Amino acid sequence: MVRKYPQLEVDLSILRSNARQVITHCQQQGIRVCGVVKGVDGLPEVARAMRLCGAEELGTSRLEQVERCRAAGVGGPWLLIRIPGLSELPDVVRLCETSLQSERVTLDALEEECVLQGKTHRVIVMADLGDLREGFWDKDELVDVCVRVERELPHVHLAGIGVNLTCYGSTKPTPEKMQALLDIAARIEKRIGRKLEIISGGATSSYTLVHWGTMPAGINHLRIGEFALLGGIYGCYPDFLRRDVFTLRMEVVECKPKPSYPVGELTVDAFGKTREYTDRGIRRRALCAAGRVDYGDPFDLTPRLAGVEVLGASSDHTILDVEDAAVPVRLGDVLDFGGLLGHAPIMPISKYSPAVMIHRGGRIPAPMQALKN
């Protein structure tokens, strides 16, 4: 089979282990998990793994990802975790059982679309508790809208309320923020005369409260993807999770000695940034055939081969210093990278030959067999 690069490998066994740990931890505190798959572009294999590990529903921010997963046999329930546009409502009702909502007009239009399709759609109405992205800022308005959904929109089911934190305004999830959400839920429940099914305390960043044991009782739903995919986030990296779910592979397309400092009058780079360079003389450097348009920030990558240093990247190339690589890097080699995607550096090769020991005769004890490699 001819392999094409760049290539992103997802280790499903490690992902399943991470997801199972996170979901079980949440379940022990009475919290259901929506397994979010937007971080892998809605790969059906990852969605299927999330469900097998106990995620009660699946979530993403792109309707085309839901369609792709359903076509691959990964059924619902599906939660749209991005506020939908009015133009998207036909597909929202067709593809998803539940969606996040934050506009009265959109909720009214959703009712009309449900009537047209002969369906009932569940909604989680969002509260803005300071992150200043989606959600009702006026909490009285939020309560009134929820009451209206309950009483006047028969095809739109008020499943619950939710919040998002950290994603835009860097607002930290705290027990106080969660209690504020619970207080709003109590006001709504008093008005509608029943318990809300879902009080969604946020996304991956809110899992930190579960991990530290500070999540208030009553929060019963989280939308989690990154924590299982990356093995942690925001400085919280539990030792029971692995950080090598992903391996990025890139092919070396040029490898030769060059100056380490640019030659000529310097200006900004292709992205309008002023870069700093260190003159280390002539160094062997390699170009890999992938860049920022493929993976984002090159400085989030960690080479798996010890001694390789990421110098930077343009849109389509990654520039590496390979002068001190543990194994000589050559044209055509394929290099593995982790970083935010995991880290497992290769140890340098010993400079000393084991030939005398190997050829001395007799038996080599089992633990020593690896020295022959």
| Rounded CA separation 324/326 (Å) | 6
- Note the pLDDT of residue 211: 95
Predicted local distance difference test score (pLDDT) of residue 249: 96
- Residue 342 is predicted with a pLDDT of 45
Alpha-carbon gap, residue 97 to 91, rounded angstroms: 11
Q: Please state, in angstroms and as integers, the Cα–Cα distance from residue 196 to each residue in 83, 200, 212, following that order.
A: 20, 11, 26
Provide φ and ψ at 194, rounded to 5°: -155, 165
Mean pLDDT of 325-347: 77
Maximum alpha-carbon separation in the chain:
88
Cβ 249 vs Cβ 332: under 8 Å = no
Q: Does residue 350 or residue 143 have the better pLDDT?
A: 143
Q: Please state the φ and ψ torsions of residue 234, each to the nearest 5 degrees.
A: 55, 40
- The answer to whether 172 is a known catalytic residue is no
pLDDT at 343 over 70: no
For residue range 91-136, list pLDDT tens digits in order. 999 999 999 999 999 999 999 999 999 999 999 999 999 999 999 9
The bridge status of strand 7-10 relative to strand 246-259 is antiparallel
Q: How far apart are CA 119 and CA 69, in angstroms?
A: 21
What pTM was estimated for this model as a whole? 0.86
- Phi first, then psi, for residue 100 (nearest 5°) are -85, 140
Which of 98, 41, 59, 236 has the alpha carbon at shortest distance from 50?
A: 59
**CB atoms < 10 A from the CB of 256, how many?**
9
Element (H, E) at 177: helix 175-192
pLDDT tops 90 at residue 370: no
pLDDT exceeds cutoff 80 at 238: yes
Buried/exposed 30-51: b ≥16 CB within 10 Å, e otherwise = ebbbbbbbebbebbbebbbbbb
pLDDT single digits (tens) 246-282:
999 999 999 999 999 999 999 998 889 899 999 999 9
Q: What is the pLDDT of residue 250?
A: 97
Kind plus residue range of the DSSP H or E element containing 226: helix 226-230
pLDDT at 38 over 90: yes
Provide the mean pLDDT of the chain.
Answer: 92
How far is 197 from 178, CA to CA, in rounded Å? 16
pLDDT confidence of 1, banded at 50, 70, 90?
Answer: low
Give the span between the Cα atoms of 348 and 71, in whole angstroms. Answer: 46
**Residue ranges of domains in the chain, CATH in brackets:** 11-230 (3.20.20.10), 246-337 (2.40.37.10)
What token pair was written down for 297? Answer: 């920030």
Q: Which of 38, 190, 195, 258 is catalytic?
A: 38
